[in-house]
Structure 1
Amino acid sequence: MAMEPSTYPEPDVRLARLAGAVGLSATWPPTDALLDVLAERTGLRTHDLLLVADLPVPETAWLFDETAGASSSLVSRSLALPEAGRRLLRDRARSMTAPPGTLTPWEPRPHEQYPPGFGSLLLRMLALRNLNWSGAAKVMCLMSGVCKAASTIGAVGRGAKPLDAEMLDGFAATLGVPGAVLAALTGVHRSVAGPALAPEVVDTATLVWEVRHLTRDQESLLTEYAEASGSQ
């Protein structure tokens, strides 16, 4: 049974929860300045916050090569690199642009159309990173140690599986956001406050964001670069 929608608050409440988690007061509707400060303090991206607030996300944010996205190979290599290597990898990813005409608008498939709920909100944040259920499951396992089947990730989005503390930690690591921030947003109780995200996890979450609009070939080149950097 899907239980989340009945407890899913209005967007102004959701944004206020995030603001309160980082010591801010939220205004409604939110100003660009507020969204910028919230993004800086929470670790979420401005586009994530637009989803939280039910505000339009630019159409260009949904342009992808759906065969691409951060691969397990790229993520695992990034996690293993030293800080300087991770920085160079992110810089290289940031400098790359997909060739014209290679990206297409994302069209959610029937199984990716979810009822309102925190699970669906988090899955749409992952979709902004060009991560489908399978990609999200692999990346989450590598980045957090929370290893679930792709179908389980989808069940959270549909509200068929509750968003519990373990899954919340998995989403937090994949997004590069402190678990306490997502706990404040969702109201999911964490019996034990987890440790702060390791620097390599935060950096790799940034890399996942940076590669979202790259093609599969470009992502493969980045993986080769990361592998070469790790062997030096």
Structure 2
Amino acid sequence: MEPSTYPGPDVRLARLASTVGLPAEWPPTGEYLDGLAERTGLRTHDLLLVADLPVPGTAWLFDESAGASSSLVRHSLALPAPARQVLRTRARSMTAPVGTLTPFRPRVHEHYPPGFGSLLLRMLALRNLNWSGTAKVMCLMSGVCKAASTIGAVGRGAKALDAEMLDGFAATLGVPVAVLAGLTGIRPSAESRALIPEVVDTAALVWEIRHLTQDQEGRLTGYAEVLNRE
């Protein structure tokens, strides 16, 4: 079960640091956050959320009709390692046309109370994944298949963040479940396994396409299909 109390940002950041053997630092410097991101597998912007520090406005610019599609994720997971790297290189080379991205505006149901569930959903929102997108990607990447409404309930605190959901979020974010366990205080399940390279690479791809348009994501999916046929 999720702990009944949600600790302050200094404690949350210290918990993450402890999981990877770093000393706690508060307030954190940019250099410290970058180092912690490298050790944990989270992104520096994720850690800004953990620490209740401002995330740059450009991080919240999206085409909200885009985001990682099931087709793109499925193709990425099926590719051999060299082809996954080629796909990620193509993704990094793509830039959304000027004026096509707009600032993220949470809908009424996306305003969450403080808690670990809401923190994880905000991390996924940084990847341009809403409840439905998260549910689809999580199912493909982890085998933890839940309804979009269940994902939302975790964010609202109406459903406890448990060991199964922790596995799902860890895979979707591409970080070891031990990192999220250390952050949340939730004990991982005995069935938890280390993430396989296909999942880690695909999670990185999900991050890299967050600022692409729907049309660009579709073209990238087509490219992934070609790679799978080669």
TM-score range for the pair, normalised by the shorter chain length:
over 0.9
Q: Which residue of 2 aligns with 1:149?
A: 147
Structure 1's unaligned 5+ residue stretches are: none
Q: Which residue of 2 aligns with 1:11?
A: 9
Distance of 2:127 and 2:160 partners within structure 1: 23
The question of whether the paired residues in 2 share the 8 Å contact of 1:5 and 1:117 is answered with no
The question of whether the paired residues in 1 share the 8 Å contact of 2:2 and 2:162 is answered with no
Q: Which residue of 1 aligns with 2:79?
A: 81
The question of whether the paired residues in 1 share the 8 Å contact of 2:74 and 2:140 is answered with yes
Distance of 2:3 and 2:179 partners within structure 1: 20
Distance of 2:136 and 2:191 partners within structure 1: 24
Counting only pairs closer than 5 Å after superposition, residues 45-194 of structure 1 correspond to structure 2 as 45-192=43-190, 194=192
Deviation at 1:191, TM superposition (A): 3.9
Distance of 2:52 and 2:191 partners within structure 1: 29
TM-score, reference length from structure 2? 0.98
Distance of 1:227 and 1:100 partners within structure 2: 27
SS at match of 1:7: coil
The question of whether the paired residues in 1 share the 8 Å contact of 2:170 and 2:176 is answered with yes
SS at match of 1:167: helix
The question of whether the paired residues in 2 share the 8 Å contact of 1:5 and 1:115 is answered with no
The question of whether the paired residues in 1 share the 8 Å contact of 2:20 and 2:39 is answered with yes
Tell me the alpha carbon deviations over residues 94-126 of structure 1, each in whole angstroms, 9 at most, x when there is no partner: 110000000000000000000000000000000
Coordinate RMSD, CA, aligned: 1.1
Q: Which residue of 1 aligns with 2:33?
A: 35
Change (3 A) 1:43 1:88: same
Distance of 1:47 and 1:191 partners within structure 2: 28
Amino acid in the other structure paired with 1:219: E
Distance of 2:24 and 2:87 partners within structure 1: 35
Distance of 1:160 and 1:49 partners within structure 2: 24
Identity %: 80
Deviation at 1:193, TM superposition (A): 6.1
Change (3 A) 1:165 1:46: same
The question of whether the paired residues in 2 share the 8 Å contact of 1:133 and 1:151 is answered with yes
Distance of 1:105 and 1:224 partners within structure 2: 27
SS at match of 2:21: coil
The question of whether the paired residues in 1 share the 8 Å contact of 2:3 and 2:185 is answered with no
SS at match of 2:112: coil
Amino acid in the other structure paired with 2:215: D
Residues 1:210 and 2:208 are matched in the alignment:
yes
TM-score, reference length from structure 1? 0.97
The question of whether the paired residues in 1 share the 8 Å contact of 2:3 and 2:186 is answered with no
Change (3 A) 1:182 1:170: same
Q: Which residue of 2 aligns with 1:197?
A: 195
Distance of 1:76 and 1:41 partners within structure 2: 27
Amino acid in the other structure paired with 1:108: P
